[in-house]
């Protein structure tokens, strides 16, 4: 038998495709900027998918967040996926889109470089895995940071000059007025409702009662479907209705974080008299403030159920949090989780003390002041990972991370002794003693 031997060539290993992701970011929540973000996402998706040597991983995109790494969820996800070996190369528009802070930039670049993950900055045409990449990056990032500071200082100067002239900077429509060319223009039909709210309040009606009357008459607020306690409060504490304007009620702490803080005297404020057509008199406004103050004084400060009620909302199911007084602590719980269980909503309970702690920190209070909180805060959103998002009445949003304390952390010596005795009883009851 004649054997036939055929050589079978070894299969050549196909070259491994580079796994590529992109990072995009815009620094403003304005519609035009968010449209720009969508365009960036589409551009990178096509760019990567059209390269046969690349494998598309995804586009990580952050909206309306600052250039610090801590606050960017998508940025953090990108770094984490790189650590887990899912990405070989990252494409981004520029150094300033990736990070404004030189230290942050170099930390990330060096970490990813050790993982052999390349970052390509399109605008500067730099690959971080190249020999000269880090040196060039250090120089350019420092320059970008200084440029950002310079732009910020110039902007602050322009805003300050406008304030000194009594010209508002930015802002948005408020109920009773519309903003036209940086001027507040009265809306007559809304102005009548503002006057009605003040009249009812000074006659003794509460916030909820006033809201009910307005809803029954078919009057709608500007930014929601129905009047509620928060929207009524917003009208009752708005000094603009007197025809006067207070400028620089808030400010940005620095050009890197861009965190907005309430101005409690750190910077000058500017009061512009007779700036626009008034809806109510000063006497009416201050009479309402004095009435609110007296109502606040008459409520015990320790009973925070009344101040926080209707102000704390679940970030997962969008339901309100409710107050509960336990044997050990005063807590706030998601109404869905409380009624239907954690299978329906996994939001954590939050200690009343933690909300007070967060309020003091954000509003720069040495001790909790109900009136200050009421004036400044519209809603508190409970987010995952021990985060509280404070939505302020001026439109700003500030995030606070609270630390979880075990229940026993707040126990008194008496409570600890009682717990020991109960444990000993259970132990003896089991026949062990």
Question: CATH number of the domain that 143 lies in?
Answer: 3.40.50.1390
For residue 40, being part of any structural domain is answered with yes
Q: What is the pLDDT of residue 279?
A: 92
Q: How confident is the model at residue 117 (pLDDT cuts 50, 70, 90)?
A: very high
Comparing 136 with 349, the larger pLDDT belongs to: 349
Q: Are residues 293 and 309 in the same domain?
A: no
For residue 341, being part of any structural domain is answered with yes
CA distance to 71, 86, 209, per residue, from 82 (Å)? 18, 6, 55
Q: Are residues 279 and 337 in the same domain?
A: no
Q: Are residues 346 and 383 in the same domain?
A: yes
Q: What is the pLDDT of residue 368?
A: 85
> What are the residues whose beta carbons fall under 8 Å from the beta carbon of 301, sequence distance 6 or more?
368, 370
Average pLDDT, the chain: 78
Residue 336 and residue 315: Cα distance in Å, rounded? Answer: 12
For residue 419, being part of any structural domain is answered with no
Mean pLDDT of 291-314: 68
Residue 309 and residue 249: Cα distance in Å, rounded? Answer: 26
Domain of residue 362, residue span: 305-410
β-strand pairing of 377-383 with 312-314: parallel
Q: Are residues 179 and 266 in the same domain?
A: yes
Q: Are residues 309 and 270 in the same domain?
A: no
Mean pLDDT of 215-239: 88
For residue 218, being part of any structural domain is answered with yes
For residue 425, being part of any structural domain is answered with no
Q: What is the pLDDT of residue 72?
A: 81
Global pTM value:
0.40
Q: What is the pLDDT of residue 300?
A: 44
The region that residue 238 occupies, defined by phi over 0 for left and psi between -120 and 50 for alpha, beta otherwise, is: beta
CA distance to 190, 209, 240, 378, per residue, from 200 (Å)? 15, 9, 19, 21
Q: What is the pLDDT of residue 155?
A: 62
Q: How many helices (H) and strands (E) does the chain have?
A: 14, 18
Q: Which of 249, 267, 297 is the last residue of a domain?
A: 297
| Residue 109 pLDDT > 90 | no
Q: Are residues 310 and 285 in the same domain?
A: no
| Domain count within the chain | 3
Kindly report, residue by residue over 159-193, the tens digit of the pLDDT: 566 656 656 655 566 888 888 877 888 999 999 99
Q: Are residues 33 and 108 in the same domain?
A: yes
Q: Are residues 35 and 119 in the same domain?
A: yes
User: Nearest-CA neighbor of 323 among 313, 333, 312?
Assistant: 333
Q: Which of 245, 266, 297 is the last residue of a domain?
A: 297
Q: Are residues 130 and 177 in the same domain?
A: no
| Residue 216 pLDDT > 90 | yes
Q: How confident is the model at residue 19 (pLDDT cuts 50, 70, 90)?
A: very high
CA distance to 65, 130, 389, per residue, from 30 (Å)? 12, 37, 20
- Side-chain half-sphere of 391: how many Cα atoms within 13 Å? 14
Q: Which of 19-33, 254-268, 408-422 has the highest mean pLDDT?
A: 19-33
| Residue 403 pLDDT > 70 | yes
For residue 6, being part of any structural domain is answered with no
For residue 429, being part of any structural domain is answered with no
- Write out the H or E segment, with its range, that includes residue 339: helix 335-340
Q: Are residues 209 and 254 in the same domain?
A: yes
Structure tokens, 145: 């940071």
> Residue 271: beta bridge partners?
246
Residue 197 and residue 231: Cα distance in Å, rounded? Answer: 11
Residue 290 CB burial class (10 angstroms; 0-12, 13-18, ≥19)? exposed
User: Nearest-CA neighbor of 185 among 281, 279, 286, 269?
Assistant: 279
For residue 76, being part of any structural domain is answered with yes
Residue 283 and residue 198: Cα distance in Å, rounded? Answer: 11
Q: Are residues 49 and 141 in the same domain?
A: yes
CATH of the domain at 270: 3.90.1750.20
Q: What is the pLDDT of residue 130?
A: 80
Residue 185 and residue 179: Cα distance in Å, rounded? Answer: 6
């Amino acid at each position: 038998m004649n054997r036939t031997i055929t050589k079978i060539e070894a299969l050549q290993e196909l070259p491994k495709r580079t796994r590529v992701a992109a990072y995009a970011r815009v620094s403003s929540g304005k519609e035009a900027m968010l449209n720009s973000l969508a365009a960036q996402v589409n551009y990178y998706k096509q760019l990567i998918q059209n390269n046969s040597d690349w494998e598309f991983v995804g586009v990580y995109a952050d909206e309306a967040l600052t250039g610090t790494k801590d606050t960017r969820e998508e940025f953090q996800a990108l770094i984490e996926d790189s650590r887990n070996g899912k990405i070989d190369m990252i494409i981004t528009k520029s150094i300033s889109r990736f990070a404004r802070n030189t230290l942050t930039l170099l930390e990330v670049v060096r970490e990813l470089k050790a993982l052999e993950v390349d970052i390509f900055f399109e605008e500067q045409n730099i690959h971080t895995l190249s020999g000269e990449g880090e040196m060039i990056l250090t120089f350019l990032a420092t320059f970008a940071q200084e440029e950002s500071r310079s732009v910020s200082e110039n902007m602050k100067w322009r805003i300050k000059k406008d304030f000194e002239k009594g010209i508002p900077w930015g802002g948005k429509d408020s109920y009773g007025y519309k903003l036209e060319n940086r001027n507040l223009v009265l809306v007559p039909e809304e102005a009548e409702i503002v006057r009605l709210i003040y009249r009812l309040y000074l006659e003794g009606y509460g916030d909820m009662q006033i809201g009910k009357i307005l809803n029954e008459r078919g009057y709608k607020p500007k930014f929601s479907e129905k009047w509620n306690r928060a929207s009524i409060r917003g009208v009752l504490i708005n000094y603009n209705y007197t025809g006067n304007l207070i400028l620089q009620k808030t400010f940005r702490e620095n050009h890197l974080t861009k965190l907005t803080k309430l101005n409690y005297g750190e910077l000058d404020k500017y009061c512009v008299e007779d700036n626009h057509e008034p809806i109510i008199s000063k006497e009416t406004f201050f009479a309402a403030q004095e009435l609110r103050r007296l109502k606040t004084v008459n409520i015990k400060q320790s009973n925070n159920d009344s101040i926080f009620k209707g102000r704390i909302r679940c970030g997962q199911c969008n339901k309100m949090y409710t107050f509960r007084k336990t044997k050990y602590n005063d807590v706030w719980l998601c109404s869905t989780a409380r009624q239907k269980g954690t299978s329906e909503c996994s939001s954590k309970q939050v200690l009343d003390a933690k909300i007070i702690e967060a309020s003091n920190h954000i509003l720069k209070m040495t001790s909790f002041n109900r009136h200050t909180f009421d004036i400044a805060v519209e809603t508190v959103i409970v987010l995952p990972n021990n985060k509280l998002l404070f939505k302020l009445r001026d439109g700003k949003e500030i995030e606070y991370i609270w630390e979880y304390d075990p229940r026993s952390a707040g126990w008194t010596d008496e409570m600890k002794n009682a717990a020991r005795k109960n444990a000993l009883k259970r132990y003896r009851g089991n026949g062990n003693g």
